[in-house]
Amino acid sequence: MNSPAQRTGAASEGRRAPVLATRALSKDYGPVRVLSGVSLEFHAGEIHALLGENGAGKSTLIKMLAGVTAPSEGEILVDGAARRLRSVRDGQSHGIVALPQELSLVPTLGAAENIFLGLRRPGSRLLVDRRALDRDATALLERLGQRIPLDVPAGELSAVQQTMIALARALARDARVLILDEPTAALTEREAEQLFAVLRTLREAGTAIVYVSHRLEEVFALADTATVLLGGRHVWTRPAAQTSADDAVAAMIGRPPGQIYPQRETGEPALQRAGGPAALEVRDLRGHTLAGVSLQVPPGRVLGIGGLAGSGRSELLALIAGAQRPRGGAVLLGGQDITARRLAGRMRAGIVLVPEERRSQGLVMTHSVQDNIALANLGRFSRLGIASRSRERAAALRRAESLRIRATSIRQPVEELSGGNQQKVVLAKYLERSPRVLLLDEPTRGIDVGTKAEIYQLVRRLAAEGVAVLVVSSEIPELLGVADEIAVLHEGRLAGLVPAATATEESVLHLCYRKSA
Amino acid sequence: MMSSTAPAQAPSTEATRSRATIPARLASYGTLLGLVALIILFSVLRPQVFLTPLNFTNILEQIAILAIVTAVQTVVMVVGDFDLSVGALASLVGVITAQLLVAGTDPAAAVAAGLLTGLLAGAVNGALVSYLNLSAFIATLATMTSFTGLALLLSNGSTVFGLPDSFVWLGQGRLGPVPVPVVIALALVLLIWFVLSKTVLGRAWYAVGGNAEAARLSGVNVRLVRFSAFLVSGTGAALAGIVLTARLASGHPTAADALMLSSIAAVFLGITLSRAGQPTIGGTAVGLGIMGVLSNGLNIMQVNSYVQQVLTGLIIVLAVSLSRLSRRRR
């Protein structure tokens, strides 16, 4: 492997001509400019990370590099010559291959078939020469140091094996520039390491790699060069060795980091809500995974819920909200047993669940911001069954303002918004219920740093108003940063309850695996 | 969807003007332009016959019964389901109502019995889909088959004649210059429009059709909402069957069967006008207009009815694929 000094030297001095470059590249969608005058260079044998919040323009940029969409202004240069990339196929003919976030493999076909899909296969035009196909596929996989059984359908292979097939597919297309969009999103840590090793090999072989990821640690472990985009503009490009994750975060959000997690105010809960503040109590609650959990959350308290995937975290929230029927146990709100009530009844009582998957559970994607916010409030915004558009609009405008939802109007379909703004719409919809107990399931998954900080502040503000909040999160720093107390679940049972002030990432992790801290 | 009917009101924090460009707008209104083009085409080809108030009334009269079925089919399709049994049910209700009338039942009571039959049949469909979780396609295909069997069984496969004039007025009478079926269809379309766009129930129908899980987690009783859509389609199908029986002055066990496919086609034509890909009553009206104008115009042009059928199929494919293309470009 090259030493960092050599690599960064090559990149910064720019002695070699870049394989791929952009010159004042811009992209407009309607009147909205999503990318503005970005000039970048991508060199052979270099891993170049693109960093930025959701909506910073990363996706738009790589789409244009791959030939998916055309620039509105500016140029793309391949080997120094301006090229118009009219399609993905066009991009590939110049050796530019993008691996989308969702790998587009055919799950029922084997590795070899997937690798050569859409290419002229070895053998005659009409008949498939299986042996030649398998031989060539094996050779490509070997270049990646992989052995993947060729007779197993891709859908049954592991996530990292599928990624490798997609990479082999890129090699089969003679990729000189490889564009990766969040390639580790579906991988475990160990699998990610495997992928990084392969990417380093490809870099040594002279491939230029454009790498998009939200995970800053891995970016800085891997990349030679980092570029930060903010609001469609180029902030800076630096050798990775001469910058840090903190610098990058500061540039991505346009202000210094450190203030992501809010200050905790302590004081009397001042809930001005129907029914006033109320404590949530859960007694011996049981479900499919949950095997008897008891908890109490007083008004104004934020309880973080940690645990491994499958420990029953999400089920606990679903059972409290009434989204799932319990196998036993009781849910009490302000001392009153509400176990018999279903989801709608518990919402009326003030218990509100913000579900984990915003696209499949939180939103009607084709409907507008206003309609989505109204959906959880239809009964409240109506008289004698007739919906009041003006009250819906007023509520949606108020929430869009206070949560700073970025949309062209509250009439815009939510499918056109960025992930962070979609999440804000889900929050708006449920906050409009003025909850006494707020259940948040992975409220910041897949959204940018800036929006995360806003959501944390919101949680603390609601707690200060006297709402009891339960937050499920896979990110332990998030639990430590936002919660007062952390309950850790292990195989459906409470493994421990620790104050956030004294807990550490390590001690919570130990509880997750149920080792004594 | 509803949101496309009103212009953007007060913008939120990051205000910009509406984003749709003019060509994109035109493409999304392609089906409407198609209707206008058809009207212009027939007006130019046969101005003396086509472009007359009398012919306009004719068209409305010809599509009135289809409009009743299509209005309720719209509701079921808003919820994301289909009702394949509407035609067979309309025929069955026609036979039952005709037999009650022939047996001397008071017309009002016979009509009420017919509507009640439709409501019950809708409840069966709704229960199968909503509470037994059968796919709407399978459930209503099965009930369609059984309804047709029942109609043939009850009528012995023959036409029931001898209906009283007071009943026949429902299908052949006029209120002033307007045929009674047109009045009934207009009233129903307006009612469905009101429910779809102004009421909580309509909003729930749209939400369930857009994302049933999100609706459930928002506190909507999804099963009841889907069930209610089938109640509407059953009752509407019965109404269509009654009006058709009055118009024909006889009950025939398969008279209304063809309404089912035409109603689904009309709703699909209407969906091409919707940004959210869900049916609207306005879109459905345009779809109905295309089917009505096309069949009337081709009749005036004396085009063979078999050729007409081929053309209708082609036009549906054309309209739906054009709107797909314009959607893909976004």
Q: What integer is the mean pLDDT of B75-94? A: 96
Q: Which chain B residues are closer than 8 Å to A413 by Cβ?
A: 3, 275-276
pLDDT at B325: 66
State whether A378 and B204 contact (CB < 8 Å).
yes
Mutation target to probe the A interface, by most A beta carbons within 10 A, among B1, B5, B12, B275 is B12
3-state secondary structure A367-383: CEHHHHHHHCCCCCCEE
| Residue-range domain boundaries for chain A | 4-95+176-253, 106-173, 280-350+434-512
CB of A194 within 8 A of CB of A162? no
Closest residue in chain A to residue B7, using alpha carbons only:
A411
The reply to whether CATH 3.40.50.300 applies to domain A280-350+434-512 is yes
CA distance A71 to A406: 23
In this structure, is residue B156 part of a structural domain?
yes
pLDDT tens-digit map of A149-175: 888 888 888 888 888 998 898 888 889
pLDDT tens-digit map of A51-87: 887 668 888 899 999 998 899 999 999 998 999 988 8
Distance from CA of A91 to the nearest CA of B (A): 19
State whether A379 and B200 contact (CB < 8 Å).
yes
Domain that holds residue B54: 49-257
Residue of A126 and A342 predicted with greater confidence: A342
Q: Do domains A4-95+176-253 and A280-350+434-512 have the same CATH topology?
A: yes
- Residue A11 banded pLDDT, cuts 50, 70, 90: very low
State whether A368 and B3 contact (CB < 8 Å).
yes
CA distance A81 to A17: 11
pLDDT at A124: 61
Residue of A365 and A274 predicted with greater confidence: A365
Residue A272 has pLDDT above 70, yes or no: no
Q: Encode burial over A428-454: b for 16+ CB neighbours within 10 A, e otherwise.
A: bbbbbbbbbbbbbbbbbbebbbbbbbb
Report residue A199: phi and psi, to 5°.
-65, -35
Number of CB pairs, chain A paired with chain B, less than 8 A apart: 133
pTM: 0.75
Distance from CA of A426 to the nearest CA of B (A): 10
Closest residue in chain A to residue B22, using alpha carbons only:
A30
How many residues make up chain B in this entry? 330
Interface of A with B in 345-384 (CB under 8 A): 347, 353, 355, 360-371, 374-376, 378-379, 382
- The H-or-E segment that residue B231 falls in is helix B222-248
In this structure, is residue B188 part of a structural domain?
yes
- The H-or-E segment that residue B89 falls in is helix B86-102
In this structure, is residue B129 part of a structural domain?
yes
| Beta strand extents in A355-473 (DSSP E only) | 382-383, 386-387, 437-441, 468-472
Superfamily of domain A4-95+176-253: P-loop containing nucleotide triphosphate hydrolases (3.40.50.300)
In this structure, is residue B79 part of a structural domain?
yes
Residue A282: count other Cβ atoms within 10 Å of its Cβ: 21
Q: What integer is the mean pLDDT of A269-294? A: 77
pLDDT tens-digit map of A286-339: 999 899 999 999 999 999 999 877 789 999 999 999 999 999 999 999 889 999
* Prediction ipTM score: 0.84
In this structure, is residue B8 part of a structural domain?
no
State whether B3 and A347 contact (CB < 8 Å).
no
- Residue B14 banded pLDDT, cuts 50, 70, 90: very low
State whether A400 and B2 contact (CB < 8 Å).
no
Q: How many domains does chain B have?
A: 1
